[in-house]
């Protein structure tokens, strides 16, 4: 009797994938990339798939539609959607399912919308083609959905072409398009990864709202645990195509069992200890610098900034804030129009070719993408050895010994690595080599341009710790350019917040991070997802509350 | 070395065929004097002798041995085409790299000149210039090399542009490295695969252009044996149903097919999964 | 809309400028003539008087810029000057031949464009099948052949051995349309074979590139049938690359025509150009060269303009 009740209480799941195996093709060979994963999803449930790159999360998400990208194949297991096995189902059956009962929201909406058609035409295509709605019904429905997703001008925006609409808006228009047939299941494939944080929070809120309203089941794929904590009822942690841990959002976020999950959760907790600001003269001083790219509008206006010895100054801002341009001005790639840059009190020539080799040596740079920052045709010996020869005149035995010393410093075994090419390294190892190359010049200041954003979270944390250790040992200063506030909290002594080419707030870490803030700093800080269930709802309620009390609340520039 | 061998073993039949053809031609060209029964422009019999044991492929319009001229033709036509292509590559890739690395006005100036040179069809341009300056072999080589270097420039510039935006080139610039170092150490090694493939294609193109000019009577001049002019000189035979005059044309076709097969395979290898 | 008009106007201006520079190059070519060119052409035996007459004929006695302006002015008024070889007006020489050449290029284009586009798109859609591999081998071989090789093979087989078509395309105005087509079949077939291979390869590459776009995957994931994905989503974006392929190959036809005309003794402009080059009939070389270059530039210009006009991002600016 009890058993019967249990069966009726848990109805047939909407989607059940058992023993799912997927293979990918590389060098004319098929290698397994997903090794037998089970996924169960009930109606109206939101399942978060989380993992670092190579975890197979996107591939698994697409497999739920019975689809494998070119170069991949579904090689084993069952995919049962609403009682029908999809791997053996006919193409016609799957075609009738896709767009109607299962829909997909891609990571880059800008690329996934066809540039040749209006948004509303692309919206209406699936419902009209599959006979769910008439064209007129579809258009009316599109406008309703646009309104619910809080797109501006919901009546008109559908008649625009994709390239006429901003990234955050496109991502919401794509969610609306996925909703057009009121599917039972939507696959969200990293829908906010390409967006700025202040835009992300708005898209997250809109998505969460419609999914709940129509009781749609969803698979939400992301690499960001804090995001998934806001969206998912249940979370699956994946790594290398295997399941690591599965549980309710509360279990995973608040009581993780596996070591890997715990490490993922701990990623954002690293903090640099506070240090007293130095009293001596700053290493680098930027005085009233303005800059623009030839002929166009100013991208930097009246920047004043100081970086002390052995200090880390974080420059924070979203895309278009001018933070990377600031780095180009300091390095001399883009001579400023106004103002000057002082290095140890001495004016630095504005353009790169005018600077002496000695000046160049003392200022080094590390980049966001270690893949493109290392010449793939040079061995590590030459990559790290070149600055030694160029700046310090080391050759032969001396140079070789110093390269090995530097490799040890960045925790790579010299005998194993010195003869390797960059393509034979992992992402984290490449970034370490970039650090070693910068250190080879024995610089006083290293500009780090988004050095951790292209890396998986665990690897990124290792890099931050390494940079901190090196600062303690070698007393270098860092200028840390980033959009990621977790990184800022972890490593900075001082923070500079930039918006549209201007500095809106600057000060020591504690000054900037504790209220009262500048309005924009406040928006930025409060938009960063926290590793806490209910954070999104709480934050939105707070903003709504302030709005109703008549206080000013800034909105994302992407509106 | 082992990688190269493994790569060779995995090559498709078309690429192997291509390599066989190229090696065969190189052999013929190198040992032409040893392999031929007669002298290059030696008149050995009456005109248009048919095939016989004495003249395996008969004689030509002046009574010279066809086979001998065919083998010498390999030497002359391929040699000149090779020299021309090398010269075109030297000019094209150096200017292309310079334009990409320096950017700005240098790039604009060179690019506009190239645009205009490329706006005139190559064969027509070559005809115009050769009418004026004559058809001595060094002139021919320089004219075609300069015209063809425009295509090399375009490719070298495009490839270099993709490399110049890489952060490792910026690293070298910030380090204070000179132009020459950046072009030689950062650009060249990374631009090599597409340039090598392009070398094959350009060689075919130059080879075909030279043959076309010779066929029109404006390329390599008699008595030097050359496949294009051999076709022209003996074309009358075709109307009598004799396919001997087609042999030199077929020799041209076979070599370009061979080179193209190798290049196609090479491109497939270096592009990885891009085309899949 | 204004943005598009400006871009089109810019291209047109650039095209005109190129044409101007090309005319300058073609004209100044003569200027580069080594001093004794007159003697080289007229032979060592030429008397002082004949040399002077020759120089006057070429207007070499005037300063270069005046000659250039006179020459260009003449062209603009439809006067191309006179042939050195037979003293006839070049306009007269070119008239009929121009139409013959255009006729040949037209027949070749009519056969080759639909054939190449159809087969190229099929090769892209059935990628890596046996058909695709065969296409690859065929086109790769075909682009490697010199035009005269293809031409003589066709003559040997279709004209000499089978006797289906004449090996010499002797066409004149007195012939009826179909008779002219019949006599032009072999040269047209030669051009087609060479151009189709190029066009197929380029079409295939363009379509494959397009089918890899995320919006095509999105269309598939909306459950649209293959035909709809191709017609509705791929085609509007494929227009620009396909137009480009077609026009580039038309331009290629214009050049390929020269050799084919020589092989088949086809009375067209190419034949005229080659004859003039052989006899060093400089005014004729200049006029025909300018015509070929102008046709080539115009075709490339058309490709540029059409690809601007079919680009959705430009058609619907922000």
Per-residue pLDDT tens for A69-84? 888 899 989 999 998 9
CB contact under 8 A, C222 and A96: no
Residue A237 inside a domain? The answer is yes
At residue B173, the pLDDT reads: 92
At residue A455, the pLDDT reads: 85
Cα(C9)–Cα(C288) distance, integer angstroms: 27
At residue A557, the pLDDT reads: 61
Report which of A392, A411, A509 is spatially closest to residue A466, judged by C-alpha positions: A411
CB contact under 8 A, B190 and A375: yes
Give percent of chain A above pLDDT 90. Answer: 51
- Spell out which residues of chain A touch residue C219, defining contact as CB-CB under 8 Å: 114
* CB proximity list for A291: less than 8 A, separation 6 or greater: A298, A299, A300, A325, A329, A334, A335, A336, A337
Q: How far is B179 from chain C (nearest CA, A)?
A: 32
**C138 contacts chain B (CB < 8 A):** no
Q: At what angle do helices B66-73 and B227-234 cross, to 10 degrees?
A: 150
At residue A422, the pLDDT reads: 92
Q: Are residues A195 and A85 in the same domain?
A: yes
Average pLDDT over every residue of B34-49: 73
- On whether the CB atoms of residues A553 and A247 are closer than 8 A, the answer is no
Pick the more confident residue, B156 or C40.
B156
Residue A533 inside a domain? The answer is no
CB contact under 8 A, C223 and A112: no
Tell me: pLDDT of A2 over 70. no
Cα(A499)–Cα(A321) distance, integer angstroms: 5
Q: pLDDT class for C59, splitting at 50, 70, 90? A: low
Report which of A57, A94, A64 is spatially closest to residue A79, judged by C-alpha positions: A64
B49 CB burial (10 A radius; 0-12, 13-18, 19+): middle
CA angle B161, B167, B170 (to 5 degrees): 80
Summarised one tens digit per residue, pLDDT across range A322-348 is 888 999 999 999 999 889 999 988 899
DSSP line for A49-69: EE--TTS-HHHHHHHTTT---
Average pLDDT over every residue of A460-478: 91
Residue A553 inside a domain? The answer is no
Q: Are residues A349 and A491 in the same domain?
A: yes
**B185 contacts chain A (CB < 8 A):** yes
Chain C interface, best mutation among A61, A68, A81, A114, by max C CB count within 10 A: A114
Residue B69 inside a domain? The answer is yes
Is the CA virtual torsion A108, A109, A110, A116 positive or negative?
Answer: positive
Beta bridge partners of A35: A21
Whole-angstrom CA distances from C114 to A61, B204, C2, C218 are 41, 27, 34, 29
Phi-psi region of A90 (alpha: psi -120 to 50; beta: other; left: phi over 0): beta
- Spell out which residues of chain C touch residue A124, defining contact as CB-CB under 8 Å: none
Cα(A422)–Cα(A435) distance, integer angstroms: 14
CB contact under 8 A, A161 and C316: yes
Whole-angstrom CA distances from A244 to A37, A240, A257 are 10, 9, 10
Q: pLDDT class for C33, splitting at 50, 70, 90? A: low
Q: At what angle do helices A197-213 and A135-148 cross, to 10 degrees?
A: 120
Q: What is the mean pLDDT of chain A?
A: 88
- On whether the CB atoms of residues C131 and C140 are closer than 8 A, the answer is no
Buried b (16+ CB within 10 A) or exposed e, C107-143: bbbebbbeebbebbbbbbbebeeeebeebbeebbbbb
Cα(A120)–Cα(A144) distance, integer angstroms: 12
Tell me: pLDDT of A1 over 60. no
CB contact under 8 A, A374 and B168: yes
Summarised one tens digit per residue, pLDDT across range C221-271 is 999 988 888 888 988 888 888 888 888 888 888 778 888 888 888 888 888
Q: Are residues A326 and A241 in the same domain?
A: no
Q: Are residues A243 and A328 in the same domain?
A: no
Residue A532 inside a domain? The answer is no
Cα(B239)–Cα(A170) distance, integer angstroms: 68
At residue C317, the pLDDT reads: 67
Range of the domain at B200: 16-270
Average pLDDT over every residue of B95-119: 88
Cα(C271)–Cα(C293) distance, integer angstroms: 16
Q: How far is B147 from chain C (nearest CA, A)?
A: 14
- Domain containing B245 — which CATH number? 1.10.3720.10
Summarised one tens digit per residue, pLDDT across range A277-314 is 666 788 999 999 999 887 677 889 899 999 998 899 99
Q: Choose which CATH entry (3.10.20.30, 3.40.50.11540, 3.40.50.1100, 1.10.3720.10) describes domain C90-315.
A: 1.10.3720.10
Q: How far is B175 from chain A (nearest CA, A)?
A: 6
- Domain containing A67 — which CATH number? 3.40.50.300
Q: How many domains does chain B have?
A: 1
Q: pLDDT class for C60, splitting at 50, 70, 90? A: low
At residue A524, the pLDDT reads: 87
Q: Are residues A311 and A218 in the same domain?
A: no
At residue B83, the pLDDT reads: 94
Q: How far is A31 from chain B (nearest CA, A)?
A: 15
pTM value is 0.83
Tell me: pLDDT of C113 over 60. yes
Q: What is the mean pLDDT of chain C?
A: 81
Summarised one tens digit per residue, pLDDT across range C203-235 is 888 888 888 889 999 999 999 988 888 888 988
Residue A86 inside a domain? The answer is yes
* CB proximity list for B11: less than 8 A, separation 6 or greater: B19, B265
Residue A556 inside a domain? The answer is no
Cα(A329)–Cα(A350) distance, integer angstroms: 8
Give percent of chain B above pLDDT 90. Answer: 18
Q: How many domains does chain A have?
A: 2
CA angle A111, C3, B158 (to 5 degrees): 55
Report which of C202, C228, C214 is spatially closest to residue C143, judged by C-alpha positions: C202
DSSP line for B15-71: HHHHHHHHHHHHHHHHTHHHH-SS-TT-B-SSTT----SSSTT-B-TTSBBHHHHHH
- Spell out which residues of chain A touch residue B174, defining contact as CB-CB under 8 Å: 331-333, 352, 360, 364-365
B-contacting residues in C 220-279 (Cβ below 8 Å): 251, 254-255, 258-259, 262-263, 273-274, 277-278
At residue C31, the pLDDT reads: 64
- On whether the CB atoms of residues C186 and C159 are closer than 8 A, the answer is yes
Q: Which of C219, C225, C237 sits opposite A115 (nearest CB)?
A: C237
Cis peptide before A516 (omega within 30 of 0): yes
Residue A555 inside a domain? The answer is no
Report the chain C residue with the minimal C-alpha distance to residue B213: C259
Whole-angstrom CA distances from A63 to A53, A82, C225 are 17, 15, 19
Q: Which of A81-90, A237-246, B234-243, C190-199 has the lowest mean pLDDT?
A: B234-243
Is the CA virtual torsion C8, C14, C17, C19 positive or negative?
Answer: negative
At residue A29, the pLDDT reads: 81
Tell me: pLDDT of B274 over 60. no
Summarised one tens digit per residue, pLDDT across range A351-385 is 999 999 999 999 999 998 888 999 998 999 999 99
Q: At what angle do helices C282-309 and B122-133 cross, to 10 degrees?
A: 160
Summarised one tens digit per residue, pLDDT across range C270-294 is 888 888 888 878 888 888 888 888 8
CB contact under 8 A, B186 and A375: yes
- Spell out which residues of chain B touch residue A377, defining contact as CB-CB under 8 Å: 189-190
Whole-angstrom CA distances from C187 to A425, A517, C260 are 58, 80, 6
Summarised one tens digit per residue, pLDDT across range A207-240 is 888 888 889 999 999 988 889 999 999 999 999 9
Rg (chain A; Cα; Å): 26
CB contact under 8 A, B121 and C262: no
Q: pLDDT class for C34, splitting at 50, 70, 90? A: low
Report the chain C residue with the minimal C-alpha distance to residue A112: C215
At residue A152, the pLDDT reads: 87
Select the highest-mean-pLDDT range: A213-222, A451-460, C162-171.
A213-222
Q: At what angle do helices A167-179 and A135-148 cross, to 10 degrees?
A: 130
Domain locations in chain C?
A: 2-76, 90-315
* CB proximity list for A390: less than 8 A, separation 6 or greater: A357, B175, B176, B177
Q: Are residues A260 and A289 in the same domain?
A: no
Residue B201 inside a domain? The answer is yes
Q: Which of B168, B174, B273 sits opposite A375 (nearest CB)?
A: B168
- Spell out which residues of chain C touch residue B218, defining contact as CB-CB under 8 Å: 277-278
Q: Which of A357, A360, A372 sits opposite B166 (nearest CB)?
A: A372
At residue A286, the pLDDT reads: 92
Q: Which of A67, A100, A164 sits opposite C316 (nearest CB)?
A: A164
Neighbours of A530 (CB within 10 A): 16
Report the chain C residue with the minimal C-alpha distance to residue A115: C312
Range of the domain at A26: 11-264
Structure tokens at A36: 């037998």
Residue A6 inside a domain? The answer is no
What is the ipTM for the molecules in this complex? 0.81
Q: How far is A70 from chain C (nearest CA, A)?
A: 9
Q: At what angle do helices C269-279 and C90-125 cross, to 10 degrees?
A: 120
CB contact under 8 A, C146 and B124: no
Structure tokens at A510: 């504690």
At residue B276, the pLDDT reads: 30
Tell me: pLDDT of C160 over 80. no
Average pLDDT over every residue of A440-448: 95
- On whether the CB atoms of residues B18 and B258 are closer than 8 A, the answer is yes
Q: How far is A127 from chain C (nearest CA, A)?
A: 9
- On whether the CB atoms of residues C82 and C283 are closer than 8 A, the answer is yes
Is the CA virtual torsion A255, A259, A264, A267 positive or negative?
Answer: positive
At residue A558, the pLDDT reads: 61
Structure tokens at B107: 């790039």
Residue B11 inside a domain? The answer is no
At residue A220, the pLDDT reads: 94
Residue B276 inside a domain? The answer is no
For chain C, how many residues are written? 318
Cα(A314)–Cα(A306) distance, integer angstroms: 11
Average pLDDT over every residue of C189-215: 87
Summarised one tens digit per residue, pLDDT across range C306-315 is 888 877 777 7
Tell me: pLDDT of C165 over 90. no
Question: Would you state the torsion angle of the CA atoms of residues A424, A426, A432, A438, taken in this order, to the nearest 10 degrees?
Answer: 50
Look-up of token digits 């075109």: B88
C-contacting residues in B 80-109 (Cβ below 8 Å): none
Q: Are residues A139 and A249 in the same domain?
A: yes
Q: Are residues A248 and A376 in the same domain?
A: no
Average pLDDT over every residue of A159-167: 88
Q: How far is B257 from chain A (nearest CA, A)?
A: 26
């Amino acid at each position: 009797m009890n058993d019967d009740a249990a069966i009726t209480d848990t109805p047939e799941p909407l989607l059940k994938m058992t023993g799912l195996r997927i293979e990918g093709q590389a060098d004319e060979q098929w290698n397994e990339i997903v090794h037998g994963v089970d996924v169960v999803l009930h109606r109206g449930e939101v399942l978060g798939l989380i993992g670092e790159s190579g975890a197979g999360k996107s591939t698994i998400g697409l497999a739920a539609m019975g689809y494998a990208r070119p170069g991949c194949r579904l090689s084993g297991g069952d995919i049962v959607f609403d009682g029908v096995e999809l791997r053996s189902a006919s193409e016609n059956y799957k075609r009738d399912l896709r767009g109607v009962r299962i829909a997909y929201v891609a990571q880059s909406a800008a690329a996934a919308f066809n540039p040749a058609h209006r948004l509303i035409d692309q919206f209406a295509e699936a419902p009209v083609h599959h006979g769910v709605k008439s064209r007129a019904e579809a258009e009316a429905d599109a406008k309703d959905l646009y309104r619910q997703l809080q797109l501006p001008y919901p009546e008109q925006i559908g008649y625009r072409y994709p390239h006429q609409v901003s990234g955050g808006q496109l991502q919401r228009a794509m969610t609306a398009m996925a909703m057009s047939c009121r599917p039972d299941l939507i696959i969200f494939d990293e829908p906010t990864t390409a967006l700025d944080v202040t835009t992300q929070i708005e898209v997250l809120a809109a998505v969460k709202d419609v999914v709940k309203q129509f009781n749609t089941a969803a698979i939400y794929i992301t690499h960001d645990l804090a995001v998934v904590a806001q969206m998912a009822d249940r979370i699956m942690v994946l790594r290398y195509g295997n399941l690591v841990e599965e549980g309710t959002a509360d279990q995973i976020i608040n009581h993780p069992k596996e070591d890997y999950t715990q490490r993922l959760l701990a990623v954002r907790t690293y903090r640099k200890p506070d240090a007293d600001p130095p009293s001596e003269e700053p290493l680098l001083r930027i005085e009233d610098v303005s800059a623009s790219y030839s002929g166009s509008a100013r991208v930097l206006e009246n920047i004043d900034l100081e970086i002390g010895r052995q200090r880390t100054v974080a420059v924070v801002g979203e895309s278009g804030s001018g933070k990377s341009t600031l780095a180009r001005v300091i390095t001399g790639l883009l001579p400023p129009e106004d103002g000057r840059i002082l290095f140890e009190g001495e004016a630095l020539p504005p353009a790169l070719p005018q600077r002496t080799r000695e000046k160049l040596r003392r200022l080094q740079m590390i980049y966001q993408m270690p893949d493109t920052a290392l010449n793939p045709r040079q061995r590590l010996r030459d990559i790290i050895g070149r600055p030694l020869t160029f700046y310090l005149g080391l050759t032969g035995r001396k140079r070789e010994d110093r390269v090995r010393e530097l490799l040890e410093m960045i925790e790579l075994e010299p005998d194993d690595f010195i003869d390797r090419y960059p393509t034979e390294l992992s992402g984290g190892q490449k970034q370490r080599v970039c650090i070693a190359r910068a250190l080879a010049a024995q610089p006083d200041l290293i500009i780090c341009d988004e050095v951790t954003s292209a890396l998986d979270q665990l690897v990124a944390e290792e890099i931050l710790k390494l940079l901190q250790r090196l600062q303690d040992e070698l007393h270098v200063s860092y200028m840390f350019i980033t959009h990621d506030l977790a990184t800022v909290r972890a490593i900075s002594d001082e923070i500079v917040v930039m918006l549209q080419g201007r500095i809106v707030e600057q000060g020591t870490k504690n000054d900037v991070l504790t209220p009262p803030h500048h309005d924009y700093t406040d928006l930025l800080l409060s938009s960063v997802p926290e590793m806490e269930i209910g954070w999104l709802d709480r934050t939105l309620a707070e903003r709504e509350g302030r709005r109703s009390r008549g206080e000013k609340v800034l909105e994302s520039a992407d509106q | 070395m082992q990688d190269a061998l493994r790569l060779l073993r995995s090559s498709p039949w078309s690429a192997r065929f291509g390599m066989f053809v190229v090696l065969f031609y190189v052999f013929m060209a190198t040992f032409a004097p040893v392999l031929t029964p007669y002298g290059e422009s030696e008149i050995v019999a009456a005109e248009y002798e048919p095939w016989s044991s004495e003249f395996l492929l008969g004689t030509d319009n002046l009574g010279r041995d066809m086979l001998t001229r065919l083998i010498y033709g390999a030497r002359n036509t391929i040699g000149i085409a090779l020299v021309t292509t090398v010269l075109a590559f030297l000019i094209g890739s150096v200017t292309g790299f310079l334009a990409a690395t320096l950017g700005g006005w240098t790039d604009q100036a060179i690019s506009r000149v190239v645009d205009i040179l490329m706006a005139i069809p190559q064969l027509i341009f070559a005809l115009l210039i050769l009418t004026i300056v004559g058809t001595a072999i060094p002139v021919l080589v320089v004219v075609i090399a300069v015209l063809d270097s425009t295509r090399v420039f375009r490719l070298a510039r495009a490839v270099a542009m993709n490399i110049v935006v890489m952060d490792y080139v910026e690293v070298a610039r910030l380090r204070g490295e000179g132009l020459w170092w950046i072009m030689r150490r950062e650009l060249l090694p990374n631009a090599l695969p597409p340039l090598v493939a392009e070398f094959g294609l350009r060689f075919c193109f130059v080879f075909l252009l030279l043959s076309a000019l010779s066929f029109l009577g404006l390329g390599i001049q008699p008595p030097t044996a050359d496949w294009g002019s051999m076709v022209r000189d003996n074309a009358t035979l075709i109307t009598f149903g004799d396919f001997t005059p087609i042999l030199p044309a077929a020799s041209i076709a076979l070599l370009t097919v061979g080179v193209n097969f190798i290049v196609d395979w090479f491109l497939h290898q270096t592009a990885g999964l891009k085309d899949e | 809309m204004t943005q598009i008009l400006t871009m089109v106007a810019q291209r047109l201006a650039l095209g005109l400028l190129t044409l101007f520079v090309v005319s300058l190059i073609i004209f100044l070519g003569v200027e580069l003539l080594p001093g004794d060119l007159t003697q080289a052409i007229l032979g060592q035996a030429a008397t002082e008087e004949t040399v002077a007459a020759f120089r006057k004929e070429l207007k070499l006695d005037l300063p270069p810029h005046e000659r250039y302006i006179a020459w260009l002015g003449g062209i603009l008024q439809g006067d191309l000057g006179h042939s050195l070889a037979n003293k006839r007006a070049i306009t007269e020489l070119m008239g009929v031949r121009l139409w013959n050449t255009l006729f040949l290029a037209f027949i070749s284009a009519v056969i080759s464009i639909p054939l190449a586009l159809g087969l190229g798109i099929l090769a892209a859609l059935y990628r890596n099948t046996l058909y695709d591999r065969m296409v690859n081998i065929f086109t790769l071989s075909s682009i490697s052949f010199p035009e005269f090789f293809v031409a003589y093979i066709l003559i040997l087989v279709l004209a000499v051995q089978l006797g289906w078509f004449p090996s010499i395309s002797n066409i004149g105005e007195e012939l009826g349309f179909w008779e002219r087509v019949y006599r032009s079949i072999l040269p047209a077939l030669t051009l087609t074979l060479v151009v189709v291979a190029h066009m197929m390869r380029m079409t295939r590459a363009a379509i494959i590139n397009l089918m890899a776009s995320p919006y095509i995957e999105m269309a598939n994931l909306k459950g649209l049938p293959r035909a709809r994905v191709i017609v509705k989503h791929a085609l509007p974006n494929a227009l620009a690359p396909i137009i480009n392929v077609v026009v580039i190959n038309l331009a290629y036809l214009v050049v390929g025509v020269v050799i084919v005309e020589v092989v088949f003794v086809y009375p067209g402009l190419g034949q005229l150009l080659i004859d003039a080059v052989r006899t060093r009939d400089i005014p004729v070389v200049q006029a025909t060269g300018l015509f070929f270059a102008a046709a080539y530039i115009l075709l490339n210009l058309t490709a540029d303009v059409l690809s601007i006009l079919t680009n959705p991002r430009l058609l619907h600016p922000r």
